[in-house]
Chain A
Amino acid sequence: MTNNDDIITVSGLNVSYGESKVLFDVSMNVRPGQVVACVGRNGAGKTTLLKSIAGFLKPTSGAISSGTTNLIGMVAYVIAGLGIKYIPQDKKVFSDLTVRENLELGSYATKDYNWDQVTDYFPKLKQLMDHKAGYLSGGERQMLMIGRAILGSPKLLLVDEPTEGLAPSIVMHLKDVFRELSKKMALVIVEQNLPLVCAIANKVYALKEGRIMGELTDRESIRPEMCEKYL
């Protein structure tokens, strides 16, 4: 089953916060070029799954690997250095720093100073370069967070609820951006907005109470109603 060219292979993953167990025996994999969606209600363990892959949480048992590299026990910045970037849902940019400085930090981490790729996706950031990031709107913050993460051409983006609380026009824009990004890198998107993910995903995992309840892999079956069945 496990192919060495998988970007991420998760098998038998168990994660707990102290006494309370959050993920039960979760297995999934992401192939190159795939857009994988994780759907589920609040508290289903989606964020926990992403954070475990990104190295911010230590699983109690199970395996996570990227290709032939074992990711268990690696600290988060090393995993990010391997090109597996996590974009949290809190939409927190470094508000005391300017947009330019926020991007500089992304470049510093990856040694990739080609900002055109960022401004091509998000032309709006160009005018905002010298603004403090704290003054940006929610949508602009999300753009900045995606922008500073795609520097260094990562092989996988772990995106946590990117459209939560954003205006419909921005959501449409982000959808296009994710489509474009998927040509260059794999994506794992955690989302409550089922129509959106179904439009761009080619694999869907449905999580409920810390377990994977269903997996949709063919284009025909990836529809909001089908996802809804598992939730």
Chain B
Amino acid sequence: MIDMQLLISGVIFGLSMGSIFFLMTIGLSLCFGLMRIISLDQLLYYSIGAYITYSVSLALGDIWLGVLGGVIVGGLAALAVERVVFRRIYERDITFTMIISFGILIGGVGVIKYFWGLVPRPVPVPITAQIDILGTEIPVYRLIVIVIALLVYVGIWLFLNRTIIGKAIRAGIEDIEHVEGLGINVYRLFTITFVIAGGLSGLAGGLHAPLIMVDPNMGLEVLAFAFMVVIIGGLGSIKGTLISAFLVGQVISIGSLIYAPLAQMAPFAIMLLILLVKPTGLYGSPLLKR
């Protein structure tokens, strides 16, 4: 029988981890949906976000400012990469863009090592307070992370459903050629989507930084988990990404209460099972155009 207090803190822990996963992978998912690219370099903007959070909070003493800086720099880095590299290769096949984005990720890790060195860096938690939920002490910071992720989800939903650019992006996820045929500058849509994705990855990194040690390989280490989340949710689906991010977070967190060594592996086993039943993930689109 699992202790009730452990279970509550486990659920909260899983939700906060799922929130980070969601922020990290939503960009991957959107980029796949609209541009049909698998943008592994999103994990680079995640690392950049974490490092900017570290440096800014060290210099200015405010971690939230650091997170904001992480979002901005993550978005700017994404903008630069999109302008220099991806703009030229959107029409190439998915394997090609995947290898390129992987190269950018690896190269970016090198850039990070050049600026910040190899030593892992700690980032202090901005809010150390604990709150009492059903007799269990829960760190407030984790709750804030969950709230931010949910706000981002609502924000993205509003953006996609209430703004004309968002509607154009939704239309483009269905059929990009028809959007272009109407006379809409699809390359601008691509840039906007890519920058939003990069900014959100930066946010994920910034929020994750106080919970882990910031180190150059952090992007590569979460790469497999990010993949897993988008595969379970289905590439290109925002709702699927949210559900699967929380699912994976819970499996890791609750799993580690039951038998710790299995916790990291269990989600992968679930992924294999889901793919066995539905090869495109929970909400994935079967179409493969462009």
A residues in contact (CB < 8 Å) with B: 54, 56, 75-77, 80-81, 85-88, 92-97, 101-102, 104-106, 108-110, 148-149, 152
Contacts and interface: CB of A to CB of B under 8 A. Distances in A.
Interface string B183-207: 1111100000000000000000000
B178 A92 contact: yes
Nearest to A86: B181
B288 interface: no
A94 B178 contact: yes
Nearest to A102: B171
A92 B181 CA distance: 12
B175 A94 contact: yes
A200 B147 CA distance: 61
A60 to B, nearest CB: 17
B56 to A, nearest CB: 37
Contacts of A148: 182
A109 B177 contact: no
Contact of A106 (B170, B175, B182, B187): B182
Contacts of A81: 183
Given A97-B170, A97-B171, A108-B168, A88 B178 contact: yes
Contact of B184 (A93, A101, A102, A108): A108
Given A77-B180, A80-B182, A149-B182, A101 B175 contact: no
A24 to B, nearest CB: 25
Contacts of A88: 177-178, 181
B174 A94 contact: yes
27 contacts: A56-B180, A75-B180, A75-B187, A76-B177, A76-B181, A77-B181, A80-B182, A80-B183, A81-B183, A86-B181, A88-B178, A92-B175, A93-B178, A95-B174, A96-B173, A96-B174, A101-B167, A101-B171, A102-B171, A105-B164, A105-B167, A105-B179, A105-B182, A108-B164, A108-B168, A149-B181, A152-B183
Contacts of A96: 170-171, 173-174
A94 B177 CA distance: 11
| Residue from A87, A92, A94 whose CB has the most chain B CB atoms within 10 Å | A94
A77 B185 contact: yes
Contact of B182 (A75, A92, A97, A109): A109
B38 to A, nearest CB: 22
Q: Which 5 pairs from chain A and chain B are nearest by CB?
A: A80-B183, A109-B183, A94-B171, A109-B182, A109-B184
